[in-house]
Structure 1
Amino acid sequence: MKFIHTSDWQIGRVVRFADDDTLGALQAERLEVIRRLGHLARQEGVTHVLVAGDVYEHETPAERTLHQPIERMREFPDLQWHLIPGNHDADQPEGVWARLLRSGLPANVQIHREPGPVLIDPAQNGWLLPAVLKRRHVLTDLTAYMDEAETPPDALRIGLAHGSVVGFGGESEAEHNPVALDRARRAGLAYLALGDWHGFCQIDARTVYSGTPETDRFTTGGGGGGEAVVVTLRGARAEPEITRHRTGRYLWKKLEDVVLTSGQDVLALEARIRGIAPDNPGVVLVWAAVSGLLPVEDMALYESTILKRLSGAVACLRLTGAPHLSAGTEDLDRFGAGGAVRAAAEQLLARSEAGGVEGQLAADALQRLFLFWQDMGAQAG
């Protein structure tokens, strides 16, 4: 038996730091990735897609948002889509899942709202054992019933759950929605498909988090999602064959401790960010923690290269901190030997050197004055 394991679509997710255009593009891509999953399934000869919870971001999505993922799945009538609730879209009375059932579902979309074995592939004796969240947080392990759940001999028992594996990797044990570390072994599962963690993580040979298919958070390296898993089961006791497939479009990168002290540093930062996706920087979201001291000319380069050109090239440029201006009395000659602007610059420089909150405000104002004066000179030239 061969199937796709995916999770954490979170349709309707809002990214609050993004502008309206970027937010709209990110939300649209979370829908478009459903089509990519469908095409991947056809490419791999798969007939079942298991979605391990959090199809939606909220328990009460708007009517249009409610039906958008369902309509994408409807486009693939040759595939069977199996959905379970997650902590973001728990199966509460009159909640998202009840609304969907009232409105009617395509024949190829099945919502599993109750625990218990379900025969999903008679030809391969494939049985799905869903765990169902009825509330956002529970303290009991909803996968525990799988240990005693009866299926025919040599059945391919596939667990589907949304929660946190307890005690994995030295982390503190999950307080909510716990999943036993050895559930697959204890329940005789051929595979346990998990959702909740947004990056791919293989707990053991049979227990896997697929991660979200469209990346939705900044990371310093990999592991931030944008993948789906294709699983092949060749027997109830055979070890699953697991292959990871890139499904995400957007690339989210976090750059820590970016210290700028020269124009070369500024250009290196630009090259580093453009190098994430040289052929299409428009799919890149970057969060950079920036600090340092730059002289006047290099600060102007930072303004034009990073804040203007680069922010227009990438999907989103989120900056924490900024380089500060390193200016002295000799830099004031840019404003001439006298006049009102020179006098104002001298006062700002003196206040900036005094430090404190007012000093920082004065330094920021002096920086803006230098950049404005340089822009005016460039325009006049």
Structure 2
Amino acid sequence: MTEPLFEMEPLSLFDVPDAPAAPIAPQPVAPRPAESRPAEPQPLAPEAPPALSTDPEVTFLHTADWQLGMTRRFLTGEAQHTYAAARDAAVVRIGEVAAETGAEFVVVCGDVFDDPRVSTRIIRRTLDALGDYPVPVYLLPGNHDPLDATSVYRSAAFVDACPDNVRVLDQPGVVRVRDGVSIVAAPWHSKHPTSDLIADQLGDLPHSDDIRIVVGHGGMDSLSPNPDPSIVRSAGLDAATADQLVDYVALGDRHSVTSVGESGRVWYSGAPEVTAFDNVETEPGHVLEVTLRRGAASSVDVRRHKVGQWSFHTLTQDMDGASDVERLRVRLDALTDKPRTVVQLALVGTLTVSENVALDRLLEEASDRFAAVKTWDRRHDLTVVSDAADLDRLDLQGYAAQAAEELQERASTGDDDAAAARSALSLLYRLAGSTR
């Protein structure tokens, strides 16, 4: 029997090879909503390095009218000392602002001292404070401290104590601060100049690529027109800034922060601490941070920094009865920081003797709470009249009642004794304690 060439295993049902599968038609897939699709990675573009500006730029502080040594006649005793200390503190604070803002220097545009005869104590303490500034300080003589024969800047106390970072702008003209930045100084050499000192400097000033800062002092014709030959002519400043002859005009003399004209480049910094009531000084107590740029990005940026602590408020009010006395009490109570606030009152109207006694008591209480309370003599017009009802409130008997009636009659007359009679009635009210 012939041997098979090979043996075959019997096939089972499970050993049958699979038939080829029918091709499956691709099915469309709905796109995922845009908000849920993962973003396709994009190649990162290399960041461009920040453009380095080559335009000239400078930041400095503008201040003026420190008038150190000033006193206020309506302040007495402790209040006067506290006020003087606040003025010194404002000078120190300006140095701190210079450090905080990165200012390169400070210009003080006149009237650093209130009088050439200021004490050596004030001179030395001021120079000690300026010596602590982290930047140079440029002092301009003004009308209160001109560079005349009696000038404080020529005194031995000033010369001996002046630190290296302090320079007096004692000569008119251009002073180079650093490469690209210059000051145009217009110092006062007498209390009564015979010309516009700033115009004198701008008249022959050639153009320059430097950032130029005029440092001057004095009133301006557009704000206070008068025939004084030293008054600063605003038209000349407008022309100089428009022609880019100068970039900024830093002024002193006006004690409120004031921008002059439309350029934004002519400013009074105001005094760093209040010197007059708010009917005169609307915004004292600041120093200005000024940033100037030239070139394609030419600009000026002026920012105010509060350095003053005191307030001098004027309150005007009609007074026609007890309710107005109470209304004044509410207004006084609303004023904050009373130990460093002075109140000037302009009260107009008519009060009875008893109502006036209530007012007097209110003002006595206010005098203890505030640094000072005074009347504005030119606007204060308060009339006190005697009223029969005042006597009823006293509830007096015998001789006292008879005396009060006589005083009331005299107080109602228009003769010279009327004021004295009203004062006597007021005292009687106080002694009787009938007004609360």
Note if contact 1:52-1:194 (Cα within 8 Å) is conserved in structure 2: yes
**Could you list the runs of 4 or more consecutive aligned residues of structure 1 that deviate by over 6 angstroms after TM superposition?**
none
Counterpart in the other structure of 2:230 = 177
CA distance change for structure 1 residues 198 and 360 in 2, over 3 Å: closer, same or farther? same
Conservation of the 8 A alpha-carbon contact between 1:2 and 1:46: yes
Q: What CA distance in whole angstroms lies between the structure 2 residues aligned with 1:94 and 1:361?
A: 50
1:218–1:253 contact (8 Å) kept in structure 2: yes
Matches within 5 A, 1:328-339: 328-336=387-395, 338-339=397-398
Q: What is aligned with 1:7?
A: 64
Q: What aligned pairs does 1:222-301 form with structure 2 within 5 A after superposition?
A: 223-235=282-294, 238-256=298-316, 258-277=317-336, 280-295=337-352, 298-301=355-358
Q: CA shift at 1:111, angstroms?
A: 0.7
* Counterpart amino acid of residue 191 in structure 2: R
The Cα of 1:93 is off from its aligned counterpart by 2.0
Q: Is the 8 A contact 2:311 2:342 kept in 1?
A: yes
Q: Which residue of 1 aligns with 2:187?
A: 132
Q: CA deviation at 1:346?
A: 1.2
From the superposition, tell whether residues 178 and 328 of structure 1 become closer, same or farther in structure 2 (CA, over 3 Å): closer
Give the Cα–Cα distance (whole angstroms) in 2 for the partners of residues 274 and 36 of structure 1: 29
Task: For 1:372 and 1:296, locate their aligned partners in 2 and report how far apart those are by CA, in whole Å.
Answer: 13
Partner of 1:92 in structure 2? 148
In 2, distance between residues paired with 1:201 and 1:148? 27
Matched, 1:317 2:373: yes
CA distance in 1 between partners of 2:227 and 2:84 (Å): 29
- The CA distance in 2 between the partners of 1:236 and 1:81, in whole Å, is 27
* Aligned equivalents of 1:116, 1:331: Cα separation in 2: 72
Alpha-carbon displacement from aligned partner over 1:106-137 (angstroms, at most 9, x marks no partner): 11111110012111132xx1101110111011
Alignment of 1:147 with 2:207, yes or no, is no
Q: How far off its partner does 1:297 sit?
A: 5.2
1:30-85 deviation line (CA, Å, top 9, x unaligned): 11101111111111111211100000110121211222221111122x22111010
Distance 1:338 1:269 in 2: 34
- CA 5–174 in structure 1, closer or farther in 2 if over 3 Å, else same: farther
Contact 1:156 1:236 in 2 (8 A): no
Unaligned stretches of 5+ residues in structure 2: 1-57
Give 1:1-381 correspondences, 5 Å limit. 1-76=58-133, 78-99=134-155, 100=157, 102-122=159-179, 125-143=180-198, 144-150=200-206, 153-166=208-221, 168-169=222-223, 171-173=224-226, 175-184=228-237, 185-186=239-240, 188-204=245-261, 205-220=264-279, 223-235=282-294, 238-256=298-316, 258-277=317-336, 280-295=337-352, 298-304=355-361, 306-320=362-376, 321=380, 323-336=382-395, 338-374=397-433
Counterpart secondary structure, 2:172: coil
Equivalent residue letter for 1:106: P
- Equivalent residue of 1:253, what SS? strand
2:186 is matched by which residue type in structure 1?
A
Corresponding letter in the other structure for 1:201: T
More helix by share: 1
Contact 1:162/1:177 (8 A) holds in 2:
no
> Structure 2 vs 1, CA of residues 189 and 360 (structure 1 numbering), >3 Å: closer, same or farther?
same
Contact 1:155 / 1:236 at 8 angstroms: preserved in 2? Answer: no
8 A contact 2:62–2:289 mirrored in 1: yes
Amino acid at match of 2:65: D
Contact map agreement 1:325 1:367 (CA 8 A) in 2? no
- Give yes or no for contact 1:5–1:231 (8 Å, CA) kept in 2: yes
TM-score (norm. length: structure 2)? 0.78
Q: What is the percentage of aligned positions where both structures have the same residue?
A: 25
| Count of aligned pairs | 367
Equivalent-residue separation in structure 2 for 1:40 and 1:355 (angstroms)? 60
Q: Please say if residues 281 and 313 of structure 1, whose CA atoms lie closer than 8 Å, have aligned partners that are also in contact.
A: yes
Counterpart AA for 1:126? V
* Contact kept? 1:139, 1:178, Cα under 8 Å: no
1:192 and 1:337, CA in 2 relative to 1: closer, same or farther beyond 3 A? closer
**Do the aligned partners of 2:64 and 2:112 also contact (CA within 8 Å) in 1?**
yes
Larger Rg: 2
